[in-house]
Structures are given as C-alpha cells and as structure tokens.
Structure 1
Amino acid sequence: MRITEHSLSQFESKFVVLQPANAWTAVVRGAVLSSLEGKMVHSRKARRHYGIKVCSKYDEDIHSEQNKYWDVHEEEFKATNQISWHVQRGDDLPTETPVLLGFYRTWNFHDTVPEYTNISIIVSDAIEAPDEYEQDTDTRVLCKLKVNLGSVERKHFREHINSTGIRYRSLTYKIGLSVRSGAIIFDLRVGGVVLGSVKADFE
C-alpha cells in the first residue's frame, strides 16, 4: 500500500484534473447535440437549373414568334416550349419539403382522356436560366415523367364551355421536386396524392 501511495504521491504534481465550470451543463448539451445530429440536414446548392417544359400565355415582348399558337379552348394565344424552373443554380435544394408548382392541362370534351401523360424534365448548365426551351450544349431533356391518369378520380376533371360553345375538360395538378439520397425526384400530384415519380441522378 505504501508503494502505491508513494507512487501516487510521486506523480501528484504532474497530473491536473481539468474541471470545466459548467461540467454538468456540458454533459446535457452533449446529449442534446447527439440526439439532434441524426436530424440535421446539410443543405445542398443546385449546380444546375431544373424545371419542366410548359405552355404559357403568349407575350410578344417575351416569347418567340415561332412558339406562338392559338388555344381554341381558352381563346387566346399561347407560347409552347416554355420552361418553368423549380430551382435555379445556387438555390438550396429541398431535402425535406418538396418544391411544388401548380399546372393544368385541357382536353376536348368528346376526346378520351389520355391514359398516360409525359412531362419533360429540363436541366440547364447555362449561367442564366433560359425562358424558352431550345436544345443545345447547355440545355437538354434530363428525363421524362410518365404518369398513369387512369387512377385519377373523375371529380378532379373539371368541365368548361367557352364563348364559342366549345366544351372541354381540364385537370389541375402539381409537380414536386425534392432531393433524396443523392438523387433528384420529380413527382406529379393530384389532390395531394402522388400518382407517379421519376428519379434522376443528382448532377
């Protein structure tokens, strides 16, 4: 015992126990940080622009003449080959809550609603996100979102009659974008229900 005591006495001046002033609160903070660690989401910045190809109301100051056409249902000129961007370069990519944008489509009343719809997902490396789609070295179709419309409840299809007596149907939906496990997910939702999705590698 004396040897042990001697040994302890011999090294007594060489070892100092460091006791932080808030030692107990440090333990508590450590436990809290540990529990939150798994919930922390590291934001990712978009290195490219991501969106979908759409049609919009024609504006001669914005749209190309070559994309102009007459919409017989809504009785106005529209512009095809337009791009609606979900995120642009430098934006934070959504990992928890998707970015949701609203759209709609129309059909002749007497035409059968198509069984499937295909939506072009666009990606662009251009410095400034282009308003109109023209495939080149910077802007291209990343993939297609194919959705089965056969499962959509009939109540979601609205009926219309324009001033010339033409009857047509419309369907309102949302396109969502989110990032999961290194992939970008695009999905189509009607009435809050996801009907289809497509996954593309994060670029």
Structure 2
Amino acid sequence: MQFAPLFPIVYRILQLSFPHCLWNGDSNSKAIALTFDDGPHPQYTPQVLTVLERYNITASFFWLGACVNRSPHIAKAVKDRGHWIGLHGYEHHSFPTLSSTQLKQSLEKTQVAIYNACELEPEQVRDVRPPNGFFTPKTLKLFQQWNYRPVMWSVVPEDWVRPGVSVVVKRVLEQVTGGSLIVLHDGVCGGQDVAETIKILIPQLLKQGYQFVTVDQLWR
C-alpha cells in the first residue's frame, strides 16, 4: 500500500504541532529546496550530481554515516560542489527506537564520518532529518539539547517504493508551492530512478519560476 496521498494531510497536522522543526520555507517566496536522503551511493549519487550540475542547482543531502564511510570520495564530491550536508543517522534506524545514548552516538559517528571524508567540522553539520520522518517530542528535545536542527519535509512523493518516474514527477508538481521542502532518495531504495526523475522535474519547476536553494537558506 502506498501512503503518498496521506502525506500532505499528515504534513499540515505535524507542522502545526511541531513548529520548531523546519517543514518549509517562506510560502510567499518561489524558493524551494530539493533534498536527497539515504546516500551517498556510489552509483546513484554521481548521477544526481551530473543533473544538478547541468542546471547549476544546489541541493541538500542527508547522509547515513555508514554510507559516507563506504563512499568517502562520493561524499567529498558532493561537498566540493557546494551542496548542503545534513545527518540521517549512522544506520537507517528509526530514532524513537534508540536510547538517548544510542541516538547521540549515531549522530556523532555520522559527523565524524563526514569530517573524515569532507573536512567539515561537526558544528558545520547539525541539520538532522529523522529516517522515515519518525520522531517524538523527546527526540526533538534531545536535538535542541545537543544543538541540532530538525529538518522535516513538505513534499514527499514516496519515491522509495518506486511507483515510476512519471508518478513521482506528477506528485511533486501537484504538491509544490513556494517554500516547499522536497524529499527524494539517492540511496538503495529509490535511487535507481532519482536521476531520471530530476531530469524531468527540474526543468518543469524552473519553467514555473521556482528557484532552488539549500536547507540552510530555508532556515534563514
């Protein structure tokens, strides 16, 4: 069963309930953020970089520490092209299932992996997107205590179940508005289609007058 039709409803409820997370940018602006979860991947991430470079677009990547350690040269290529880097945990474990100690270690291990690959200091990498979007008030309280910034989403086309490139593109175009925070995946689940998806999606969004910014710019 696909849950894509429910995400816009869930988004509106959670946005009101947890206003200190980044759910979207300024709705009166044409600035939107294109984000990619679950990488870096040795095959899919370079394909994404090629498309982004073609259109001179800067995106944001939320990384798994284990994947950074497996593909440090890909991580460095992302960083060297000026894209924004965030955390997605060391492994793709749901944050509410982890103890406070385990969660802290997961984030810090990922920061270490990013430092080793990209020479980005831990304080430069403090945006966190929970895997599967799962969090609790306790999770958010810990983020605040540890000086991390929770980054969520406003457009989720559920590309990880691979409904087809045309379906993912259609879902994004139907939901995108000013300030949208779009979630795609360049990892094992969904990464097979992501380059083809953004090849179609980016020109159409540019034609509609949208400008692509990073998550950091949305925070501002």
TM-score, structure 2 as length reference: 0.21
Structure showing greater radius of gyration is 1
Larger RCO: 1 or 2 (CA < 8 Å, sep 6+) = 2
Structure with greater proportional strand content: 1
